[in-house]
Amino acid sequence: MSQKKICVVGLGYIGLPTAAMFASRGHEVVGVDINPDVVESLNAGRAHFEEPDLGMLMAAAAQTGRFRATLGAQESADVYILAVPTPFKDGNKPDMSYVDAATDSIIPLLKADDIVILESTSPVGTTERICDRICAARADLRTPRFKEAGSPGQLRIAHCPERILPGQMIRELVANDRVVGGISEMCADAARSVYDSFVKGQTFLTDSRTAEFVKLIENSYRDVNIAFANEMSMICDHLDLDVWEAINLANKHPRVSILRPGPGVGGHCIAVDPWFVIDSAPEQSRVIRQSREVNLEKTRYVTEKIEKAASRFRDPVIACLGVTYKNDVEDLRESPALEIIGHLAANSQQKILVCDPMVKVLPSSLADHANVSLVDLDTARAEADIIVCLVGHRAFQRLDPKLFFNKVVIDTIGLMYDRA
């Protein structure tokens, strides 16, 4: 694709790395966000969250003038990428307000042959929803119809879900295969040409509904498999068995590959996306629903286990190792560790020590509790009666289990088993 002007709406964990990659390939990129602090930071060449190589790309983009951030979509572009949140609301229903608002913000700027790509993970039919919204507001524009051939002069509207892992975003943006689903074949071809400027993996074309569902399948699959591991951990507790040894031995079978249990499931993808499937096909998604419930129950189960251990002490000190949603990232979204600590803090006066090398200050949901403090690992180990292993950061993986021989250890991630 020749050099284009690209507008990326939403500069969070997906939009910003994507914008940085396009800028690094010589495109003129305008990023749009609703947070003035984020816009100010990015225009100064500073990423607003930590991610390997992202800071370097942003500094270079600012220096060359290929990237700038604004508080609203103000200028016409050739390509519009929507990378806004798609959370769920009451009753685990998809909240499409961010996608709708992002679409509305670009509608006045659109012109014939522009490309509009939705990257946000979304329920099936969302790309068509965008198309219908544009059509209703701009009768002067020609919009494609689902699975029609398409023709010159139409908008090109497609869905291209992200497939990147926090901590490896930049590398995976380039190396991973992509699925691009168009409202029409012409739309899919146009969207693929956009990503060809930096994607080295294969790009597979399909229709927009299939592309939307593929992303939901991927995360539902992972949620189901994690639920199996988490259920095994609770069964092993009931039978007084070591789940880590049991899973390790079961995985010696050539066709068995059980995942590791944990305190639940976090992150904006696996903890959220299965609900989109359940909402669209409630009678057909029984395994997916049950898996979601198992993973939510595991978080409650761990919380109760900690409370039971604490009841043996008069004034227990509880040290929680890890508060982010996964290893070696600063991301707190949907973190089961954060939920567990928050519940303990709100429902008791016990002293709670939080230790996490990825977190510089306590998140706001914990900072208001006088009984919670952020400490280093040595302090946590010295002062705690109960040690709770919640996230397997690299810094924790170097721990010697012998240092905790006089502590009550609740290991939800197999940290001590790995080091024994």
Q: Is 105 helix (H, G, I), strand (E, B) or coil?
A: helix
Q: State residue 153's pLDDT score.
A: 86
Determine the residue type at 395.
A
Q: Residue 345 in contact with residue 368, Cβ under 8 Å?
A: no
**Architecture of the domain made up of 241-419:** 3-Layer(aba) Sandwich (3.40)
The answer, yes or no, to whether residue 419 has pLDDT greater than 70, is no
Q: How far apart are CA 21 and CA 27, in angstroms?
A: 9
Secondary structure of residue 269 in the 3-state scheme: coil
Fold of 5-201: Rossmann fold (3.40.50)
Q: What pLDDT shows up at residue 405?
A: 85
CA 269 to CA 334: how far, in whole Å?
9
Q: Regarding predicted confidence, which is higher, 364 or 3?
A: 364
pLDDT at 197: 93
What are the pLDDT digits (tens) for 65-82? 999 999 999 899 999 999
Residue 200: other Cβ atoms inside 10 A: 10
pLDDT band with cut points at 50, 70 and 90 for residue 149: confident
Mean pLDDT of 328-341: 95
Give residue 403's pLDDT band: very low, low, confident or very high (50, 70, 90). confident
Give the pLDDT confidence of 370-384 residue by residue, as tens digits.
Answer: 999 999 999 999 999
Over residues 91-110, the pLDDT tens digits come to: 899 999 999 999 999 999 99
Average pLDDT across the chain, whole number:
94
Q: Check: CB of residue 28 under 8 Å from CB of residue 9.
A: no
158 touches 183 (CB < 8 A): yes
Residue reference for tokens 């495109």: 27
At position 284, the amino acid (one-letter code) is Q
Please choose, from the candidates 82, 67, 69, 98, the residue with its C-alpha nearest in 3D space to the C-alpha of residue 5. Answer: 67
Q: CA-CA distance, 390 to 321, in Å (whole number)?
A: 6
Query: How many other C-beta atoms lie within 10 A of the C-beta of residue 5?
Result: 14
pTM, whole model, 2 decimals?
0.92
Of residues 314 and 400, the one with the higher pLDDT is 314
**pLDDT for 418:** 64
Residue-by-residue DSSP string for 215-267:
HHHHHHHHHHHHHHHHHHHHHHHHHT--HHHHHHHHTTSTT-------S---S
Q: What is the pLDDT of residue 152?
A: 84
**Averaged over 109-122, what is the pLDDT?**
96
* pLDDT at res. 38: 95
Mean pLDDT of 156-170: 92
C-alpha closest to that of 68 among 14, 146, 6? 6
Domain residue ranges of the chain, discontinuous segments joined by +: 5-201, 241-419
Q: Fold identical between 5-201 and 241-419?
A: yes
State how far the Cα of 325 lies from the Cα of 332, in Å rounded to an integer. Answer: 5
Element (DSSP H or E) covering residue 374 = strand 372-374
Catalytic residues: 215, 269
